[in-house]
Structure formats: C-alpha cells, structure tokens
Amino acid sequence: MRQGRLVFLGAVITATCLFAKVTVDYDHKVDFGKYHTYSWIGVNVQDPAWKDITANAIDAQLAAKGWQKVASGGDASVTAMGATRTQQTMETWYTGGFGGGWFHRGWWGPGVATTTIERTPVGTLHLDVFDSNTKMVIWHGESTDTLSGDPNKNELKLQKAVEDLFKKFPKAKAKK
C-alpha cells in the first residue's frame, strides 16, 4: 500500500515538474512593429556561467522576431534576471486504522502518521523589454520551472522556457 502511494506521489511530482509556468504582459497600446534593434541593459543571474547561456537564448528568440542586437542605442533595451530557490512540499500519510490508511484523530484504532518533506529546486527567469526613448517597460515575461541536477537538462529547460515566453510576444499592429 505504501509503495503504491509513493509511486502516485512520484507521478504527481513528475507531472508538475514537466510544465513550466509562463506569464507575459505587455503595453497593448505599443506598436511593436516600430522596434527593429535592441541593446542589452544586463543579465543578472546567480551563477555567472549561466549569463551567456541566458543571453544567447534570448538573442536567438529576438533575432527570430526580426530584431537586431546592437551594442548601444537600440530601439528597445532588454534586461534579464534569473534566480533559484528551494520549494518545500510536505506530504503526510496515515497507516493503520479502518479502510487501509484512513486513520485520523483516534477513530477506528491505532495508526501511524508519516510526514516527508520534498525539496525541489525551482528556477525563475524575469525578462523585461523597455522602450529606449521613454524608458518605459513595453513587455514583461516570467517563467518558473523546476530544475534537475543535470546542467544539460537545465539548459534545455531554459531554452524551452525562453521559446515559450516569446510565443506570447506581440506582433506589429496592422497598418490602417
């Protein structure tokens, strides 16, 4: 019975870990068709080895949108910030009592409660695009996903997260 619960718990954790949470917001009044170049303000990540990896993933997506990177003076300015944290999840299982584990608060005989703590590393990437002239944010994207112990898998997750963010990047407004 306990093994079945652990398998179920593992399946739930795996399913929630497979999908990154992506949110995007932007200024709906802005015509994104007027932006053709961009410059970096900066990339701020906890691990310096990920600075270029993060910037390259974003550069590739902006290039796919037709934007060209320039050293300074771009139509838009881009900044990225990444961070990691550990998310803790507590699970409590009851054994003994009536019904194969549905024991609670002294009903139907003796039982044991077992609580486990799962610690899962989670990474978050914040990406902002500013109008270089007005210095106002025109687009903001955020992606949060669980991390693995394998840097190669994490790099693939970063690539996928950035792709997912830019799927929601606004198109140029149609000319009237």
Q: Write out pLDDT tens, residues 95-143.
A: 655 555 454 555 555 567 778 888 777 888 999 999 999 999 999 999 9
pLDDT category, 10, cuts 50, 70, 90?
very low
Regarding predicted confidence, which is higher, 171 or 14?
A: 171
Q: Domain ranges for the chain, please list them.
A: 20-88+121-167
Domain range 20-88+121-167, CATH architecture: 2-Layer Sandwich (3.30)
Relative orientation angle of helices 50-64 and 151-167, to the nearest 10 degrees: 30
> pLDDT tens for residues 33-74?
999 999 999 999 988 888 999 999 999 999 999 999 999 999
Which residue, 155, 153, 91, 85, is CA-closest to 120? 85
Whether the full predicted model's pTM is greater than 0.75, yes or no, is: no
* pLDDT score, position 151: 86
Tokens representing 6 are 């652990």
